[in-house]
Amino acid sequence: MRIGAYNQVAQVYGNQSVKKNYNSSQVGATSTLDQVSFSTVGKDMQIAKNALNSVPDIRQDRVNELRASIANGTYQVSAESFADKLLAAFDEKFL
């Protein structure tokens, strides 16, 4: 290590005056225009969001089918499938 180089480094980081590049009368004035731009991913997300807003939350045709099958007594539930879904919901909630 060369100690003699310390003087050169000190000169680089030494006390230098800071030059201000603005006029004190122009401090409050702004001459720039703010702009916003969205990426293609953001635009795609907005399109998807608008598409989802146009779709109803409840699929009434499916609800009507289920109601009819329950009323007719033809609606069958697999006990194994029900148990699997119940355990999966339990795992998600408590683990």
pTM of the complete model: 0.37
**Cβ–Cβ < 8 Å for 75, 66:** yes
End-to-end Cα spacing for the chain? 59
28-64 pLDDT, tens digit per residue, is 556 678 888 878 888 899 999 999 998 888 999 999 9
The pair of three-digit structure tokens given for residue 44, joined into one six-digit string? 């795609």
DSSP state of 20: P
Task: Dump pLDDT digits (tens) for 71-93.
Answer: 999 999 899 999 999 999 988 77
CA–CA separation, 57 and 63 (whole Å): 12
Cα angle 26-32-36, degrees, rounded to a multiple of 5: 155
